[in-house]
Chain A
């Protein structure tokens, strides 16, 4: 070979070798450092094996004594510790061991620093978080916390456990998400738990109903809008029993839509955001984006949670029974991590914890079990402020004087490299954060920003020995997000209390309108006392149930708690129907109720569909679609089993009916519904066949009535489904073809998400785990507790204990969850109680 040729080969070889190495180590442009990802020694492949060795040891410097951790065959760690703080340290360690990336992601979501982990794409989410004042509230709470007090010691112990695991973790063992993002786990600070708690508050108690009502008022007038968004449910089956043996229908006629309210129109135009301004607390921009991207997600969010308890008089074995299934977004890894803590003579508690929060959120002790549903209470209000400078204010008007802001924070948003990518100024009035909305400045008060001692409620509560003491512990500390806490104990007591901070507004106002901020007279003037909370202990009916329905019958107590248009009455009616019908309930049947395919919604709405179709056919409508649709629905047993072939049509017909019915709520600019009321309102309108709501305002010369609209909606739905899924006579529209649950990876990575899982259930049933293209909402945890002398617990969640997508423990519970089965939860009192055959792994933690 000539010298020239040799030199060329040498140069080409260098370019190839060095280039490939550079690409592998650092990446180029949008191409990630693939060498780091693909290396069998340090890359993604290290995650492709079982991540729970049979025996392991670890060190946590702060421990006062050794901690013995035994993982059972369900991969649940049973922590046996000498002190409660050691148990918390160990909990931090085992949670980090399985869920390290999730810990950081969730805390950053509450801190508003997601951009530093995942990049610029998360900027709008971070901006919303910071403008809501969430990170400031957590930081202030931690800064003023007594670090030698119970809360401070618990948060620090938990951080010690997480950081001990993190510090000993070699780079090669970092979770795959860190490798894909080319990041390293950060040190866990105690305040991160408070950020995470705020994030839960955002998920469960961020409900700016003011905007929905304002939009509706601008379109259909004040009275019609207030009727539509009334906080009183059209059917009363309250959480606090009202002494009735049947639901109480309160199907009042709704005020017909009229002309828009001029004041609302004016205010709405002042508040409207220019497109360039990102999301703000009132969510104009986010709502618009959601509508454009995926309207189904809104529908999916309608689902919430169930819990119920049966007293000894109505159970076959004479024990109190309790069941609960909180409905949240289904993610992988799951929002829940199952754990069991034992400190002899001090505590013995199991259940699920949220990675990042040092406590068992839903679970059981030797004496009682508890679960939550969301109240949907209105705990967030807005005030229109007058400021001295519309662009960069320094003063706001209050009681005739211009006063300084309580605080002004410059928020810096950084990317993964630490560069500042955006800057915000957030002003704080005495009420809370203030943000510019259109040409106006709105301040906000929100109970989530005033909470922070809830963990103390849990810690005191799990040491209680009966249901009432547990509820009282929670009531003492628990402010937000307000929850319907149900509890049953081994003495046979069942109890429920809607616990949280409920504001009392001046002049008996409801929190549904934006208020005048220029005077303190519009401020909150107090909070409801515990005695005023909706609650019940051992009611005469022998059972209790909550499913996000209105907690108290307004005939009993007219006080306003809130309105969440996502919540519907259907599940509450269904649970009560099933519990009333069974005076000898068993734990097994309790478990089956979680996935009961029956639907009060279908039972109550379907007759109107069939009636309308038949009436139109009698009147000469011979459309083939209408006949086929009527025939298909008439054969349906109204149960959402996975092999039924008519639920798809029913769902499409109801959706189409709502679209046609609420044409008055279509925003002129976008053509999409500006605000939709709770679906429960359909009951009132179905019962009022000639209400002007049924008239289509776009057909000026015709006055439509219910049966015309409903029949048209049914035929349209049939045609649309035929187009989408084919002729149902040839390719039946089986529910399992269409409705799936699909937990998605927390970063939305397709390969790390679960396969679509067919289920029994759907909207309005007790198992509403149906997803849209972007997310699935549903039963994130199911638990049944049989409160005999030795409580027996059965439970499941969709996913697995490991956060590692390559682990056999990542999805090992999904099939069981999909089939509606529950697994037996082990509750050993000592390490020796867990049989060797039932022990999957051990971990010894030392100082």
Chain B
């Protein structure tokens, strides 16, 4: 197995399943679960990274199935005056922000709760 931390692997699997079946809500839901699992400052990074990686993998699967991802990114972009790389970047960035944000919120709230319950 590659040397990815175990939590990142779990988060990645979560993101893959959530984005594939949860559509636009998937990244955020998986981000919440990642926050619950990690419960530390690393949650934001783990969730964001796993979301972007999952999106990349799903795009790669589309490419493997015959999709011309880069060319189609250019096609979509030219409808809005954007370069193709801009469309690709937005595709990766949006779920990363969704997941990272939700994971960060959950993990911080849990951290605050731990501080409160452990106080003398």
List residues of A whose CB falls within 8 A of some B CB: 1, 3, 6-7, 9-21, 23-25, 33-36, 38-42, 44-50, 172, 180, 749-752, 805-806
Contacts and interface: CB of A to CB of B under 8 A. Distances in A.
B101 A806 contact: no
B108 A17 contact: no
Contacts of A34: 90, 94
B3 interface: no
Nearest to B79: A751
A10 B103 CA distance: 9
A14 B112 CA distance: 15
A170 to B, nearest CB: 11
A36 B27 CA distance: 12
Nearest to A749: B79
B62 A38 contact: no
A39 B19 contact: yes
Contact of A10 (B76, B91, B100, B105): B105
Contacts of A805: 75
B10 interface: no
B103 to A, nearest CB: 8
Contacts of B31: 17
B5 interface: no
A17 B68 contact: no
A83 to B, nearest CB: 36
A10 B62 contact: no
Contacts of A9: 104, 108
Contact of B76 (A1, A11, A44): A44
Contacts of A24: 24, 94, 98
A19 B58 CA distance: 23
A334 B10 CA distance: 47
B102 interface: yes
Contacts of B108: 6-7, 9-10, 13
Contacts of A45: 58-59, 62, 67, 69, 72, 91
A39 B95 CA distance: 8
B23 interface: yes
Nearest to B99: A17
B98 A17 contact: yes
B87 interface: yes
Max chain A C-beta neighbours (<10 A), residue from B20, B44, B105: B105
A17 B105 contact: yes
B111 A41 contact: no
A6 B79 contact: no
A172 B21 CA distance: 10
Contact of B72 (A1, A41, A47): A47
A623 to B, nearest CB: 44
B44 to A, nearest CB: 7
Contacts of B90: 34, 38
B65 A49 contact: yes
Contacts of A20: 28, 94, 97-98, 101
Contact of B97 (A16, A42, A47): A16
Given A13-B108, A42-B23, A750-B79, A21 B62 contact: no
B112 A17 contact: no
Contact of A17 (B28, B55, B65, B115): B28
Contacts of A752: 75, 79
Given A40-B62, A49-B67, A25 B24 contact: yes
Given A3-B112, A49-B66, A751 B21 contact: no
A492 B67 CA distance: 48
22 contacts: A1-B41, A3-B112, A3-B115, A10-B105, A10-B108, A13-B44, A13-B104, A17-B31, A17-B99, A18-B28, A20-B97, A21-B27, A21-B101, A24-B24, A24-B94, A39-B24, A40-B59, A41-B19, A41-B58, A42-B23, A45-B59, A50-B66
A12 B97 CA distance: 11
B23 A21 contact: no
